[in-house]
Chain A
Amino acid sequence: MGTNAQPAEVRLTIPADGAYVAVPRAVVGNLAARNDFTVDAIDDLRIAVDEACALLLPQATGGVVECVFTIDKPTLVVEVSADVPETWHPDTTGFGWMVLAALVESVVARNTGGRLAITLTASALSTENA
């Protein structure tokens, strides 16, 4: 946004409660809309954030989920993280993961000492390079 070429960061901490997932979903929709994502891609991102939160929520032990949105044009990176059991890792063969993988360019989950982060990466107008 604006004229700055520096990556911009938006941070959001929500209660680990399904009712609040609408907030990061709305945020990612708005950020994507303002950064040249197509209407298709905007919806894909909304669903992806929804899905990432849904994977994380049932395991979140700290009561909160943190979302960090980084805009580094044309790339938008969303990191959704929460405290989880130290050995837990999302099921990457499951339905939720498959949906995630189909929606964004890359999706990575990493558990660092009980902090699980799901990182979604998408680029504006990536359909043009398809």
Chain B
Amino acid sequence: MTQPDPGGQGELAGPDEPQDLRARTAELFAILSGAGPGDPEHTMARDGLVHLHMPLVEHLARRFRNRGEPYDDLVQVATIGLIKAVDRFDSDRGVEFSTYATPTILGEIKRYFRDKGWAIRVPRRLQELRLSLTAATAELTQELGRAPTVGELSERLGLATDLVIEGLESANAYNTLSLDAPDQNDADSSTVLDALGADDEALESVEYRESLKPLLARLETREKRILTLRFFRGMTQSQIAEEIGISQMHVSRLLARTLTELRAGLLKD
């Protein structure tokens, strides 16, 4: 960072986002946060924001053009990501909207590819429950624009609340995949993640304790990224799951493990 930049977040926010777009975006978010959901003003501002950022959506969808999916479908999927980003964006956080929206949109596209099928290796007995919980969580997250509650999951699946709780808890205890197991789209996802490349800056700016530095440096790229997104960008586990292309449960396990490791390391040093 050579000079203070109000956008502040590198190449994605910079050239694609001229001043008037920024100003208009800020204006619309001000209206959005001022009006209650359901107000005509709220709806107008929301629509306006989506239209305003369609070029960003198209730009990102174009990156996935040569993968056998119709471009128009990709734009649709990416637009869902944009709408989610608009609904979740907190303008008080001091981050440029495009910086916030980009990972969400990419996450949506990647999930679209990932949902074409992936293997989960768990004991047979739990497989069905796990699969339906994962699927229902994804579905409901999409429908509600947030992660579902246990009550909503049990209603959707027609299962007793206790069974759902048990399923979620056992999911937390189980390793379905090796941490190092590559995603199906691994080559692609690492390209996308690399392209974003903002992790290290965010991490550096919050290293309050010198002793944390070597510990963070030892973390896997993905774990470091999850930690960054969760605590320094304020994304939810579901949002991270979408972005990284793994399930929310997996994100949860990785986070818990990473924090445990960091703590153990801090105590040791």
Binding site for B on A (CB under 8 A): 26, 29-30, 33-34, 36-44, 46-47, 50-51, 54, 58, 93-96, 98-99, 102, 124-125, 127-128, 130
Given contacts A29-B169, A95-B262, contact A40 B212 (CB under 8 A): no
Query: What residues of B have a CB within 8 angstroms of the CB of A130 in the complex?
Result: 88, 90
A54 to B: closest C-beta gap in Å: 5
Cross-chain pair count, CB within 8 angstroms:
81
Query: What residues of A have a CB within 8 angstroms of the CB of B236 in the complex?
Result: 40, 127
Contact partner of A39 among B88, B147, B231, B255, CB < 8 A? B147
Of B2-10, B71-79, B117-125, B148-156, the one contacting chain A is: B148-156
Docked-complex contact B259 and A44, CB < 8 angstroms? no
**Given A38-B148, A43-B252, 10 other A-B contacts at CB below 8 A?**
A29-B169, A34-B150, A34-B165, A39-B150, A39-B153, A43-B248, A47-B259, A50-B259, A94-B208, A95-B208
Contact with A along B133-169 (1 / 0, CB 8 A): 0000100000000111111010000000100110011
Query: What residues of B have a CB within 8 angstroms of the CB of A37 in the complex?
Result: 149-150
Cβ of B25 < 8 Å from any Cβ of A? no
Docked-complex contact B150 and A98, CB < 8 angstroms? no
Query: What residues of A have a CB within 8 angstroms of the CB of B88 in the complex?
Result: 130
Query: What residues of A have a CB within 8 angstroms of the CB of B168 in the complex?
Result: 33, 39, 42
Docked-complex contact A47 and B255, CB < 8 angstroms? yes
Complex formed: what's the CA distance from A94 to B88 in Å? Answer: 27
Docked-complex contact B149 and A36, CB < 8 angstroms? yes
Closest residue on chain B to residue A129 by CB atoms: B37
Closest residue on chain B to residue A21 by CB atoms: B260
Cβ of B230 < 8 Å from any Cβ of A? yes
Cβ of B34 < 8 Å from any Cβ of A? no
Binding site for A on B (CB under 8 A): 88, 90, 137, 146-151, 153, 161, 164-165, 168-169, 206, 208-209, 212, 230-231, 234, 236-238, 248, 252, 255-256, 259, 262-263, 266-267
Docked-complex contact A33 and B165, CB < 8 angstroms? yes
8 intermolecular pairs with C-beta atoms under 8 Å apart: A33-B149, A33-B168, A39-B149, A40-B248, A44-B237, A50-B256, A95-B212, A127-B147
Complex formed: what's the CA distance from A94 to B231 in Å? Answer: 13
Closest residue on chain A to residue B207 by CB atoms: A95
Query: What residues of A have a CB within 8 angstroms of the CB of B148 in the complex?
Result: 38-39
Complex formed: what's the CA distance from A50 to B172 in Å? Answer: 15
Given contacts A39-B168, A43-B237, A47-B255, contact A102 B147 (CB under 8 A): no
Closest residue on chain B to residue A102 by CB atoms: B231
A100 to B: closest C-beta gap in Å: 10
Query: What residues of A have a CB within 8 angstroms of the CB of B259 in the complex?
Result: 47, 50-51, 99
B267 to A: closest C-beta gap in Å: 7
Complex formed: what's the CA distance from A44 to B252 in Å? Answer: 9
B23 to A: closest C-beta gap in Å: 24
Docked-complex contact A41 and B208, CB < 8 angstroms? no
Docked-complex contact A38 and B208, CB < 8 angstroms? no
Closest residue on chain A to residue B212 by CB atoms: A95
Given contacts A43-B252, A130-B88, contact A58 B231 (CB under 8 A): no
